[in-house]
Amino acid sequence: MKKLKYCSWLLTAVLMVVSCKKPDFEAEQQAMAAGTITDYLKNNFDFSLFVAAVNKAGLSDSLDKASSAFTVMAPTNSALNKDGILNAADFDKWPADSLQYFVRTHILPARVFYTDIPLSSDNRYTNLNGVRLYVSRSNAFNANLAVNGVSVQSQPSLSTSVAATFGASLLNGVVYPLPTTLKVLPVTVQQFLTARPTLSHLVAGLKKFGYWDQLGADGPYTVYAPMDSSFERRGITLDSINRMDLNIYDPVVFGGYFLKPNHLFVLDILQLPPPSGINFLAFQLPAINYKLVMGQQPFGLGVGVATAASTQTSTLVPVGPYWNQPYGNQGTPFLGEVQTGLSLVNLKGAYINYTCSNGVVHLLSDILVMPDKVVK
């Protein structure tokens, strides 16, 4: 099993690019706060690994000043375990600049209470690296608050009658626990795909059908990226991609893997209501005869490509590997997630996304378009 997965890709990325009035209860919380952010993190075992990262990055003293103001999106120990960080010594393998970039990614230089955040998606807040984070707040079940598509853990409540609250209020700011680290990289989606050897088939196809160059330009883009093994499992090899006849296949065969201009996280779907009577959202693809579809719960949060005309009806005509399955199982799941029964409330935590400088990349467990389904 590969360790330090996040570190390796973060290092690659770094090397590639050398006012509302606060409610009374929040004011009372702040008045009752007895310690700084550093105190709070150190006194909570669930943050012991993140504390080690903060210390090694030289930011502990900054977060200990009562006169300062920060908001910390703090990954829990289990979040860092997912990235192969099992003990504090694992951070010794990180270059100093990569570690500092990682820690600063999770810190905003301002105090942001939960109710300060507008009830909408993609509210933008700049972190200590000068990079914007996308914070979404909604009334949706299990997705009240998310940062770059990562659900924030709510604060425990002693009363079942009290609505969930988010963020621990401290003398010098707020701490929000995260179950997954934020993957925010200083590279374009094109550079991200290039740096991942396991995505070579997608890269080859994007180049073959003339989409590659634009992915290095201004976006935003949302890219859905299957592993090479997904293509190989469907009988699609690098050689067969290079031999594809552009006069035979509709360009959606590889133009179905990205959207522009869109910057979509999975949880955003809850805040983009579908048309009346429709249980999915359809987004126009660069190939004009097709649309990318993301389902609303409980029909699943997989991704699929369907004919543009069919998205105007109640019966989709998909062109992916699950074209002949009942609706609800037609979508391709995200990497690590199950095919059936996929919904917001049962994502297993394997799903992650990578936020790049000009868009976001989602890793998929299968392909989106079967070449024989899109012959001209």
Number of domains in the chain: 2
| Residue 325 C-beta-side C-alpha neighbours within 13 Å | 12
199 plus 170 within the same structural domain = no
Torsion of CA 175, 179, 183, 184, to 10 degrees: -20
Tell me the pLDDT band of 130, cut-offs 50, 70 and 90: very high
Residue 231 has pLDDT above 70, yes or no: yes
Whether 131 maps to a domain, the answer reads yes
237 plus 327 within the same structural domain = yes
240 plus 339 within the same structural domain = yes
Q: Is 177 exposed, middle or buried (0-12, 13-18, 19+ CB in 10 A)?
A: buried
70 plus 196 within the same structural domain = no
Residue 87 has pLDDT above 70, yes or no: yes
Whether 184 maps to a domain, the answer reads no
What whole-number distance in Å separates Cα of residue 61 and Cα of residue 64?
A: 5
Domain that holds residue 147: 5-178
Domain stop point among 178, 204, 237: 178
What whole-number distance in Å separates Cα of residue 145 and Cα of residue 138?
A: 7
Site of tokens 């009806």: 313
Residue 39 sits in a domain whose CATH number is: 2.30.180.10
217 plus 366 within the same structural domain = yes
Residue 297 has pLDDT above 70, yes or no: no
Tell me the per-residue pLDDT of 16-52, one tens digit each, with 9 for 90 and over: 543 333 344 444 445 445 699 999 999 999 999 999 9
Task: Provide the pLDDT for residue 347.
Answer: 58
342 plus 236 within the same structural domain = yes
Predicted TM-score (pTM) of this structure? 0.86
How is residue 366 written in tokens?
A: 């299968």
Tell me the per-residue pLDDT of 110-119, one tens digit each, with 9 for 90 and over: 999 999 999 9
198 plus 162 within the same structural domain = no
Domain stop point among 178, 203, 220: 178
Whether 120 maps to a domain, the answer reads yes
Whether 183 maps to a domain, the answer reads no
Task: Provide the pLDDT for residue 241.
Answer: 98
Whether 26 maps to a domain, the answer reads yes
